[in-house]
Amino acid sequence: MVKEQPPTIKGFKASAVAAGLKKTGDRDLALFFSELPAAVSGVFTTNQVKAAPVLLTQEHIRSGKARAIIANSGNANACTGKEGLENARRTAALVAKELGIEPEEVLVASTGVIGAQMNMGAVEGAVPQLVGTLSPGGLQDAARAIMTTDSFPKISRFEGTVQGVPYHILGIAKGAGMIMPQMATMLCFVLSDIHVERSDLDRAVSDAVQTTFNRISVDGDTSTNDMVLVLANGLAGNGLPNPEEMELFTRGLTQVMGELATMIVRDGEGATKVVHVRIRGAATPHDAETAARVVANSSLVKTAFYGQDPNWGRIMGALGRAGIIMKEDAVDIWINEVKIVENGLGRGVRFEKEAAEQMKEATFELIIDLQQGGCEDRVITCDLTHEYVSINADYRT
């Protein structure tokens, strides 16, 4: 969560400008800069339709080192063909030239409307100011500049030590469309001053993403532009972490990404509730994950959350079509501590009323015990509201 002092991290600077890519005139271009070449690790969309900046950044992180991220909102630079890829490449080159570094050291991320070519005049005009205003305190502004339908900037921090030497992790994210996250671009940039080998960094990032960004609402599918980038510049001055210290670092990364992921759900388009869907007693890990995702993704379950209605019949219906091992008469369901279903049967109005009370909270748990085995999983989701429809019916107008 955001602390009182403005967030900074050793050896990193940032800046943000209004280049004119957003029709609103808000800031829409952000730059993150590492004074030293940083170890870099990235996780990208699994969508077959990949935006130009995704293709370019995948190419640029192959070296294992990076120094800058330029990120824009207002235009996704997706479905833009060769011209789009050329524009992403040119953006990296413009930033590199202005910073006096190599184009391959610049990573590019975009979010916004799909299918329109970038206004390269606007980007070109803005880069000198972007580089000229870089400062250690610019991270907050940069976090704002990458927002699209987000209603607040998302920042999270962690501090750990390696052999007594303190290091820091600072994560910034954008994302708000949680009904179909595969279409609501999620960008996350994590900056750290830890000294760490690239292979260890890759493993830690992959583990942290698995239990955080891959467990918020729905189906793990991603948009054309999704990207998690982690840069570690080594300026903490620590020696290489031992296995336990790497575990602590992975926990720190997981905490930062977990907080950002939860903020994204809380800021879900039109969302009024954050719901933790927990599956217990599944026969296999795959069943546990599938059950959690199918329930968390059901429009009817999500509208019932909005209506604060413990409509467990819809939950049973979702479980029944999930393709998992289940027995109707073995299912138990709770809202927080209130058990509303026992062995597949409702426990009556009294418990439903108690559960409805719990559902008035901004955050609650839906717990489902399948009683088929020992596997568990959980997905964080939000409710489906009138506001969601408004935002998405009007998005481009």
Give dist(CA 176, CA 94) in Å, integer. 30
- Check if the beta carbon of residue 185 is closer than 8 Å to that of residue 204: no
Write the interaction track for its own copies spanning residues 256-295; mark x where CB under 8 A is met and - where it is not. ----------------------------------------
Give φ, ψ of 181 to 5 degrees. Answer: -60, -20
Among 124, 159, 328, 337, binds its own copies (CB under 8 A): 328
> Two tokens at 252?
């720190």
* Of 8, 91, 111, 185, catalytic: 185
Judged by beta carbon, residue 98 or residue 342, the one nearer its own copies is 342
Minimum gap (Å) between residue 357 Cβ and its own copies: 15
Judged by beta carbon, residue 133 or residue 392, the one nearer its own copies is 392
Minimum gap (Å) between residue 199 Cβ and its own copies: 29
Judged by beta carbon, residue 39 or residue 379, the one nearer its own copies is 379
Instruction: Label each residue of 153-209 as H, E or C.
Output: CEEEEEEEEECCEEEEEEEEEECCCCCCCCCCCCEEEEEECCCCCHHHHHHHHHHHH
Minimum gap (Å) between residue 343 Cβ and its own copies: 8
Judged by beta carbon, residue 38 or residue 341, the one nearer its own copies is 341
Active site includes 303?
Answer: no
Minimum gap (Å) between residue 186 Cβ and its own copies: 13
Minimum gap (Å) between residue 37 Cβ and its own copies: 33
Among 180, 240, 248, 283, binds its own copies (CB under 8 A): 180
Write the interaction track for its own copies spanning residues 18-57; mark x where CB under 8 A is met and - where it is not. ----------------------------xxxxx-------
User: In the chain, how long is the greatest CA-to-CA distance?
Assistant: 70
Among 313, 353, 362, 374, binds its own copies (CB under 8 A): 313
Give φ, ψ of 375 to 5 degrees. Answer: -95, 145
Residues 75 to 104 in contact with its own copies, rule: CB under 8 A = 76, 78-81
Give dist(CA 397, CA 377) in Å, integer. 39
Any contact of residue 182 with its own copies (CB under 8 A)? yes
> Two tokens at 73?
């909102």
- Check if the beta carbon of residue 370 is closer than 8 Å to that of residue 324: yes
For 141, what's the count of Cα atoms within 13 Å in the CB-facing half-sphere?
20
Minimum gap (Å) between residue 182 Cβ and its own copies: 5
Minimum gap (Å) between residue 299 Cβ and its own copies: 5
Residue type, 5: Q
Among 6, 136, 317, 373, binds its own copies (CB under 8 A): 317
Residue type, 191: L
For 34, what's the count of Cα atoms within 13 Å in the CB-facing half-sphere?
25
Write the interaction track for its own copies spanning residues 186-225; mark x where CB under 8 A is met and - where it is not. -----------------------------------xxxx-
- The residues binding its own copies (CB under 8 A) are 46-50, 76, 78-81, 113-116, 177, 179-180, 182-183, 221-224, 298-300, 303-304, 306-307, 309, 311-314, 316-321, 326, 328-329, 341, 343-346, 384-386, 388-390, 392-397
Q: Which active-site residues does the annotation give?
A: 185
